Amino acid sequence: MIAYGRFIARGEFFEDYFEIEGGKVRIDGLSFDVEEVRFLPPVTPEKIVGVGLNYRDHAEELKMEIPSEPALFMKSPSSVIGDRDYIVLPEKSERVDYEGELAVVIAERCRDVSPEEAKEYILGYTCFNDVTARDLQQAGWQWGMAKSFDTFSPIGPYVVTDLDPSSLGIRTYLNGRKVQESSTSNLVFDVYQLVSYISSIMTLKEGDVITTGTPAGVGKLNKGDEVVVEIDGIGKLTNYVR
């Protein structure tokens, strides 16, 4: 599998395309065991565009109507953390939820692209956890504010560049227990429709991230938890809570 990302191995920093297969990471003629690699956030986005209520079952569990157009919100880029980093629960909130999602990473600047053209502007796909202060969101805070606390955007561990996003299994585990399971085939608006729609509103730039929505099963995070987002063809994004 060919991926793009950033990592530290044996004290050296790498940022490029690499091969990951059979528990090995290979780059520039070097080979590392995955266990000795520290993956960093694979990109530094200028913006993170979230999409809400994009799985029918999630809209139903929140007792909200499925939108006729993508429901967009923005997350602060300063909320980004990487694989095996800590999600920090803010004092302002008493209910912080996990939301496992597929993220789309933009390859180059684009504006007003059609769904048919969208694929040409996508670098690849990665795992994302759209961490949300649910009590603040439901109390009337703007979605973007309730989702933009520092550490609320775990992403990674890397970007897979050659992947069909139309039917990927997606699962979230909380302390080893499976709490979310679905497929990207259940998206209300698919990846290419989202890129097209968002680019009709704003210019997307290299490294920007689109989060495609979460399925049913969102739930509360507590200090000491381990949360894992797993997507077929990509891998696992693991984070801890404090």
Alpha helices in 62-203 (DSSP H): 115-118, 134-138, 143-146, 191-199
pLDDT at 141: 82
pLDDT for the residue numbered 206: 98
**pLDDT, the chain, mean:** 96
pLDDT level of residue 35 (50, 70, 90 thresholds): very high
Nearest by Cα to 213 from 239, 180, 240, 236: 180
pLDDT of residue 116: 97
CATH superfamily of 42-241: Fumarylacetoacetase-like, C-terminal domain (3.90.850.10)
Helices (H), the chain: 56-61, 115-118, 134-138, 143-146, 191-199
On the 0-12 / 13-18 / 19+ scale of CB atoms within 10 A, 193 is: middle
Q: Radius of gyration over alpha carbons of the chain, in Å?
A: 17
What's the pLDDT score for residue 60?
82
- Domain layout of the chain by residue ranges: 1-40, 42-241
Name the band, by pLDDT with cuts 50, 70 and 90, for residue 142.
confident
Three-point CA angle 169, 25, 119, nearest 5°: 45
Entry pTM: 0.96
Question: What is the model's pLDDT at position 178?
Answer: 98
Interval 106-111 mean pLDDT: 98
Q: What is the pLDDT of residue 57?
A: 80
